[in-house]
């Protein structure tokens, strides 16, 4: 017996033969399957590939399951949303149309139209532009001329006489655009101003080059002619062209006149209101120029003094002269134009009556409605002579129907400084120029205001007004299906938020424009009141500018400011009322929500246990007692709001802590923030005695609302 046990123990101590063999094989790198069968390397690779394929299949199955889950969830949400939308429509059918909200939307629609109309009128009624004021500044800041020379061969005055010299005048010919002429010899003389544009659009195809098909139909491409500068003149009788070169004294202008006149070492030119002073090392500026056939005009040849004037021969008995130190103001501006008048806006190019400009021109001339009488004609030549003197007579060959007609005249005109009263010069004159340099801020502010007003009209007057009106008429918005009771409030608060944002932006723009306009308006008014200008163009400029700034910009902006301010105050009052109403309603809903949650928690308990039944009954009694306490606190809070309404500070004091106590009792931080929770808890505990005394007072007086 002992020997058998010994043999058994000996077998137990020896390792299993199969396991020993497997262990040896594993150590030699051999692989076996689950059943211990030997596997070749090929079998191992196949096994791994199957395992990888199975893993991929599992991943694909997992992805498909997730996709199915997402589809089911979206389908369920869509069905819930559809059910909620049907429920919302049923609720809204029973709800009457809110006439107060409709009146509110109508009010803001009228307001948006009114402010838009005022902004458009304010911007449209600006009769004076920045270019008009800049024209005035360019004149008074023009440098005086103390010498004029001429050249035949070189049109570049700087190259001929030095850097101080430049052309006396320059006419900018704008150039033409490309076209395709398919007119086939049309009689241009039969065209009128009414049908010329249509003719060139159809026959010249403005801005297009001829295609191969059009070229095969005898159409011709009209090449572009680049812009050119005309600065040559002649005697009007096919004489030799010449260029007049003027030397301008930089920094000697009407603005610096008073400073020069106050200097001890100065030369006084002119007299009376036209007095003009220059430093002693300079001669008086040129005040008169002209052309003559008299070689001794005003004895200039005998005087032979360039400080008084000079006269030079241009050939064939034709002379040019200039005179200094007369009773007039210095000549500073020169213009060449077709016809005998310079436009009131000097940069506009005039054209003769009953004539229309070439349609291929990049900038076409028009007959001026108003002229600048300060320009005086110096000399006149016909159109053919003008184009010949500038060596561009070939344009009539390059441009079909470009007519150079000798029956139309071109004139050289000169203008002095704008007459400006001596009492308005000095520091005040500097302010006038400075205000002109910043006048563009007024027009920029008006454009920004118009843009904000248009946005206000589109967003508030149209978009939100339509949405608000449809909501007030109980239109069911699908996006509001889950919260039908707050549908209008949500849309209303979004609308009022955008409204306040745009109104604040508009008020800021109006206040900024007021600040800009006010300073300029006072200076322009002083110019008109003191009679600083006497010429008709400047009088028109400053009279209309004062009217624009005072009646248009100032008055309309003031009306807009009043409207936006009243509307903003109204919106803030409505928001405050909505917030107060929302807090009162929110506390009540919070109380009801917690009550329903606790009742549901008890109802879902197991009803099979006797001890749980007892706990359920006991818990219901606790809820009932607690709800009674909550209603006492809630009603007392409302009662205190009525009692303390006459005393604002006392009302705020009690309602603040009653809200806090109510929120803590409901286990919600309703009125207190998280950072101040402990502080408010401390103050609430201190007021428990006060609340208890109020309960007793209400109960004894029979005023409780329990």
Q: Give the count of beta carbons closer than 10 Å to the beta carbon of residue 372.
A: 20
Helices (H), 125-240: 130-140, 157-161, 196-203, 212-215
Flag whether pLDDT at 603 surpasses 90: no
- 384 pLDDT tier (thresholds 50, 70, 90): very high
618 vs 377, more confident = 377
Instruction: List strand residue ranges (DSSP E) for 314-434, in order.
Output: 319-324, 331-338, 376-382, 409-416
Bridge-based pairing of strands 286-292 and 179-181 is: unpaired
Flag whether pLDDT at 447 surpasses 60: yes
pLDDT digit string, tens, across residues 486-509: 555 666 677 777 878 888 888 888
Say what the pLDDT of residue 483 is.
53
Question: What is the average pLDDT across 295-312?
Answer: 88
Name the nearest CA neighbour of 244 among 145, 174, 328: 145
568 vs 139, more confident = 139
Flag whether pLDDT at 338 surpasses 90: yes
Say what the pLDDT of residue 392 is.
94
Question: Which of 23-27, 187-191, 404-408, 419-423 is predicted least confidently?
Answer: 23-27
Instruction: List strand residue ranges (DSSP E) for 129-274, in order.
Output: 144-151, 165-167, 171-173, 179-181, 220-222, 228-230, 243-249, 266-269
pTM, to two decimals = 0.63
Distance CA 443, CA 433 (A): 17
Question: Which of 456-470, 544-558, 583-597, 642-656 is predicted least confidently?
Answer: 642-656
Flag whether pLDDT at 474 surpasses 50: yes
Question: Which of 280-284, 364-368, 504-508, 697-701 is predicted least confidently?
Answer: 697-701
What are the beta bridge partners of residue 694?
none
- 673 pLDDT tier (thresholds 50, 70, 90): very low
Length of the chain: 706
Q: What is the mean pLDDT of the chain?
A: 74
Distance CA 379, CA 577 (A): 78
Distance CA 277, CA 257 (A): 6
Distance CA 537, CA 539 (A): 5
Say what the pLDDT of residue 414 is.
96
Among 22-36, 349-363, 366-380, 580-594, top mean pLDDT goes to: 366-380
Say what the pLDDT of residue 17 is.
45
Residue 233 is encoded by which pair of tokens? Answer: 């003149």
Please give the C-alpha separations between residue 706 and each of 589, 626, 645, 698, in angstroms, as whole numbers.
Answer: 18, 14, 20, 10
Say what the pLDDT of residue 245 is.
96
Flag whether pLDDT at 444 surpasses 60: yes
- 55 pLDDT tier (thresholds 50, 70, 90): low
Within 8 A by CB and 6+ apart from 524, the residues are 435, 542, 545, 546, 549
Distance CA 483, CA 476 (A): 11
Question: Which of 91-100, 438-447, 514-523 is predicted least confidently?
Answer: 91-100
Say what the pLDDT of residue 553 is.
78
Say what the pLDDT of residue 333 is.
95
**CA atoms within 13 Å, Cβ hemisphere of 695:** 15
- 46 pLDDT tier (thresholds 50, 70, 90): low
578 vs 556, more confident = 556
What sign for the dihedral angle of Cα 60, 66, 67, 68?
positive
- 648 pLDDT tier (thresholds 50, 70, 90): very low
Q: At what angle do helices 99-124 and 465-472 cross, to 10 degrees?
A: 160
- 246 pLDDT tier (thresholds 50, 70, 90): very high
Question: Which of 201-205, 215-219, 234-238, 647-651 is predicted least confidently?
Answer: 647-651
Helices (H), 531-647: 536-547, 555-603, 610-643
Flag whether pLDDT at 377 surpasses 70: yes
310 vs 673, more confident = 310
Distance CA 503, CA 511 (A): 12
- The four Cα atoms 245, 246, 251, 254 give a dihedral, to 10 degrees, of -140
Question: What is the average pLDDT across 180-194?
Answer: 68
């Amino acid at each position: 017996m002992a020997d058998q046990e010994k043999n058994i123990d000996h077998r137990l101590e020896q390792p299993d033969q199969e396991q020993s063999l497997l262990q040896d094989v594993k150590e030699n790198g051999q692989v076996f399957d689950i059943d211990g069968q030997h596997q070749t390397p090929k079998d191992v690779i196949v096994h791994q590939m199957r395992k990888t394929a199975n893993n991929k299949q599992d991943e694909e199955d997992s992805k498909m399951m997730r996709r199915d889950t997402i589809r089911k969830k979206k389908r369920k949400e869509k069905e819930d949303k559809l059910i909620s939308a049907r429920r919302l429509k049923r609720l809204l059918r029973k709800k009457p149309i809110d006439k107060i909200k409709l009146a509110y939307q109508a009010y803001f629609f009228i307001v948006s139209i009114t402010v838009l109309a005022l902004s458009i009128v304010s911007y449209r009624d600006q009769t004076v532009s920045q270019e008009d004021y800049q024209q005035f500044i360019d004149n008074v800041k023009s440098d005086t001329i103390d010498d004029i020379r001429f050249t035949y061969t070189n049109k570049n005055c700087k190259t001929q006489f030095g850097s101080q010299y430049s052309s006396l005048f320059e006419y900018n010919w704008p150039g033409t655009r490309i076209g395709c002429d398919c007119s086939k010899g049309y009689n241009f003389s039969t065209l009128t101003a009414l049908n010329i544009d249509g003719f060139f659009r159809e026959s010249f195809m403005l801005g297009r080059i001829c295609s191969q098909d059009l070229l095969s139909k005898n159409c011709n491409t009209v090449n572009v002619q680049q812009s050119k500068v005309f600065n040559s003149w002649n005697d009007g009788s096919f004489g030799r062209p010449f260029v007049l070169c003027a030397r301008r004294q930089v920094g000697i202008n009407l603005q610096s006149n008073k400073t020069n006149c106050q200097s001890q070492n100065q030369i006084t030119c002119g007299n009376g209101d036209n007095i003009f002073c220059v430093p002693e090392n300079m001669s008086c500026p040129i005040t008169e120029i002209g052309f003559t056939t008299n070689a001794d005009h005003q004895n200039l040849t005998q005087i032979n003094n360039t400080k008084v004037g000079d006269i030079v021969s241009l050939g064939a008995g034709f002379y040019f002269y200039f005179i200094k130190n007369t009773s007039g103001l210095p000549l500073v501006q020169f213009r060449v134009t077709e016809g005998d008048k310079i436009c009131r806006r000097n940069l506009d190019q005039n054209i003769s009556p009953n004539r229309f400009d070439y349609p291929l021109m990049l900038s076409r001339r028009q007959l001026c409605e108003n002229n600048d009488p300060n320009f005086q004609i110096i000399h006149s030549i016909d159109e053919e002579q003008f184009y010949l003197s500038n060596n561009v007579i070939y344009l009539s060959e390059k441009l079909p129907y470009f007519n150079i007609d000798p029956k139309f005249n071109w004139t050289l005109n000169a203008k002095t400084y704008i007459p400006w009263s001596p009492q308005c010069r000095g520091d005040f004159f500097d302010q006038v120029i400075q205000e002109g340099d910043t006048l563009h801020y007024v027009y920029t502010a008006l454009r920004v205001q118009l843009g904000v007003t248009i946005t206000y009209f589109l967003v508030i007057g149209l978009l939100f007004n339509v949405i608000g009106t449809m909501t007030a008429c109980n239109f069911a918005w699908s996006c509001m299906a889950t919260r039908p009771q707050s549908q209008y409030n949500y849309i209303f608060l979004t609308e009022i938020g955008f409204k306040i944002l745009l109104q604040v932006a508009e008020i800021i723009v109006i206040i900024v424009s007021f600040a800009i306009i006010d300073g300029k308006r006072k200076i322009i008014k002083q110019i008109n009141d003191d009679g600083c200008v006497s010429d008709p163009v400047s009088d028109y400029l400053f009279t209309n500018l004062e009217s624009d700034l005072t009646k248009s910009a100032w008055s309309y902006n003031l009306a807009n400011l009043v409207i936006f301010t009243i509307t903003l105050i109204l919106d803030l009052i409505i928001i405050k009322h909505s917030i107060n109403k929302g807090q009162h309603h929110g506390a009540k809903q919070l109380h009801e929500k917690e009550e329903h949650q606790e009742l549901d928690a008890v109802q879902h308990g197991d009803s099979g246990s006797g001890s749980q039944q007892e706990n359920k009954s006991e818990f219901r009694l606790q809820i009932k007692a607690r709800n009674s306490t909550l209603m006492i606190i809630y009603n007392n809070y409302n009662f205190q709001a009525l009692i303390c309404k006459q005393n604002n500070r006392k009302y705020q004091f009690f309602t603040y802590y009653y809200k806090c106590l109510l929120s803590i009792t409901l286990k919600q931080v309703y009125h207190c923030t998280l950072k101040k929770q402990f502080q408010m808890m401390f103050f609430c505990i201190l007021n428990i005695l006060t609340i208890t005394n109020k309960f007793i007072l209400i109960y004894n007086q029979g005023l409780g609302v329990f």
